[in-house]
Structure 1
Amino acid sequence: MTNAKLEHVNVTVSDPRATAGRLTEWFGWQVRWHGPAKNGGTTYHVGNEDSYVAVYAYAKPTETPTGRLNHIGVLVDDLDAAEARITASGIHTHSHADYEPGRRFYFDDPDGIEFEVISYA
């Protein structure tokens, strides 16, 4: 079994820059990264070296509510072993990507919660 850790939670907000500013002020966190995201949106990763909150907004106003959980990010030591356990339970994985500095894939659990599984190994 790999040593899995909660790495991040990704939520939709109305203004990621403003939300990032509040989180840094309230908790002493730092902006780890910010930039373009899916669907032409913008994301800020705000936290410390171990974990973060990803605050995301679509490029254009949408009917998708703010405060919505987008996905939960789980950091694992062995991505292939984690995926094997997940697919063995009948879950379909998708959106595999190799990127600097790691690899990842996504899946939806039976309740419709999206998970991102990441490895930097």
Structure 2
Amino acid sequence: MSTPRVPPTRAYLEHVAIRVRDIHWHIRFFREVLGMELREIDGPPEAPRQYWTLGGLQFVATPDFAAPPSHDAGWLAHLGVMVDDLEAALQAAQAWGVQPLPPGRNWLQLPDGLAVELIQAAPGSVAQALAVRPRG
């Protein structure tokens, strides 16, 4: 048995970039349903090319993008999103016309085909994670 190699550094995923047809819909949904506020924007607010949220999402405006319409197709299976209040998030999401998915009522399919799994976080853990300011 070999000795475990000590890695030269440690890392974590700071964000994931997602191509979306309607960037404004995604900005509004993630802000109004899940409270993910603006961290950075590329381009003018009325026509952003890219939009980053506090919480690790980057939306890339791609108006002609067509994702497979299934939660288990394509290279990005789903996003797992920790929430302070799962019931409140699910109730808020209903008004957005998102579709439920077979794994459970906390799985939602967005209009561009992206699947989101909402997960109840331990008390205080979302605030703790959002308090991290990786870029200053």
Same fold (TM over 0.5): no
What is the TM-score with the length of structure 1 in the denominator? 0.42
* Richer in strand (by share): 1
Work out which of the two has the higher radius of gyration on C-alpha atoms and give 1 or 2. Answer: 2
Give the TM-score, by structure 2 length.
0.38
- Flag the structure with more relative contact order, 1 or 2, with Cα contacts below 8 A and sequence separation at least 6: 1
